[in-house]
Amino acid sequence: MKYPSRVKLVDVGPRDGLQNEKGQVPAAVKIELVHRLQDAGLKEIEVTSFVSPKWVPQMADNAEVMAGIQRRPDVRYSVLVPNLKGLEAALSAPREHWPDEIVVFAAASEAFSQRNINCSIAESIERFAPVVEQARAQSIYVRGAISVAVGCPYQGEVAPEAVGEVARLMKAIGVQHAGVADTVGMGTPVKVQRAMEATLKHYDLADVSGHFHDTYGQALANTVACLEMGVWQYDSSSAGLGGCPYAKGATGNVATEDVVYLLHGMGIETGIDLDKLIDAGVFISNFLGRKPQSRAATALLNKRAA
Ligand code: HMG
Ligand code: MG
């Protein structure tokens, strides 16, 4: 078995994680989290989203957070954008505060599409087309997320063909990268491989990633299943923050600490300093008043304490 020798992790905690917190996290805390993640060696961070504040008030401080981060030239900063209004808001700031990358998100089930973005899959693609065009015209990279790719909280099973169809539609409108997202964390390795294979019919290996929530404790297994296919890009969330407000019961993304421990143990490089990453997870978890949701962080913190 030949695994990739290096993996790129995108920490989505500041966005996917903090969008799901009941209390409002101050912009200064979000900014500090981004700084700690880049200090730990993360080369891409999903900072915030430019969605409707009525739908997700937790991200209403998006412009303040984007303006407050001290950027590094070798780090890519991405934001989630659901429509043209979101892109216009992200680009209404001075250019130095623009995202390097936007993430558009469509679902592989009609039911989830309606609940999450209030429109059908076809309407969402239609809505994204001008967003993609305008972002690319400004040299902003466009990543796509295919939600509920291995199971939907409203519909149940999702066929790989449905995932392939969303990938095809995304490719047709110029989305440059496709992330296979297990929004609810109900996927298991073979199902995840089928969803990834369906996506790889339309995207090259260099342009796909896995985004696995860990609700059922399957995210690391799903990661290894995709590593076996050569997939070398994954989203994860420090301290296991996360969840989608429109996928009730879904817990956070797989913890970045756990993925880093897994990868380093397999001899796969990430460029990430696990100790500093654990400290970043402790910082945000302390703020939220709980322990990091990462088995590796918990074990290593116990070891430190001893
Ligand atoms: P809608 O209500 O159908 O939108 O929502 P609308 O176009 O009819 O507009 C309604 C109001 O919202 C208007 O304001 C708009 O101006 C405003 P009003 O006239 O009533 O005062 N509005 C906006 N305001 C700020 N920014 C915007 C924006 N757009 C409209 N961008 C919409 C449709 C898509 C906007 C809404 O459903 C929405 O924001 N949904 C986002 C939901 C969300 O953020 N979900 C979580 C992120 S996705 C996720 O976590 C999955 C992922 O992690 C991968 C995975 O795990 O699956 C990526
Ligand atoms: Mg997610």
Instruction: Specify the pLDDT at position 249.
Output: 77
Instruction: Specify the pLDDT at position 2.
Output: 84
256 CB within 6 A, ligand 1: no
HEC string for 20-78: HCCCCCCHHHHHHHHHHHHHCCCCEEEEEECCCCCCCHHHCCHHHHHHHCCCCCCCEEE
89 CB within 6 A, ligand 1: yes
- Ligand 1: which of 51, 59, 118, 170 to mutate, most ligand atoms within 8 Å of CB? 51
Whether 249 contacts 216, CB under 8 Å: no
Distance in Å from the first CA to the final CA of the chain: 37
120 CB within 6 A, ligand 1: no
The whole-angstrom separation of Cα 178 and Cα 170 is: 8
Mean pLDDT over each residue of the chain, to the nearest integer = 96
Nearest to 127 by CA among 174, 83, 169: 83
Instruction: Specify the pLDDT at position 1.
Output: 66
Q: What is the DSSP string of 188-218?
A: -HHHHHHHHHHHHTTS-GGGEEEEEB-TTS-
Confidence tier at 35 by pLDDT (50, 70, 90) = very high
Three-state DSSP at 147 gives: strand
User: What number does the ligand 1 atom closest to the CA of 148 have?
Assistant: 57
Average pLDDT for residues 177-204, to the nearest whole number? 97
- Per-residue pLDDT tens over the stretch 201-250: 999 999 999 999 999 999 999 999 999 999 999 999 999 998 677 877 78
Average pLDDT for residues 106-134, to the nearest whole number? 97
270 CB within 6 A, ligand 1: no
- Per-residue pLDDT tens over the stretch 43-55: 999 999 999 999 9
Confidence tier at 72 by pLDDT (50, 70, 90) = very high
* Paired tokens of 166: 């969303």
Beta-ladder partners of 107: 147
User: 49 C-alpha to center of ligand 1: Å?
Assistant: 10
What are the structural domains of the chain?
8-305 (3.20.20.70)
Active site residue 244: yes
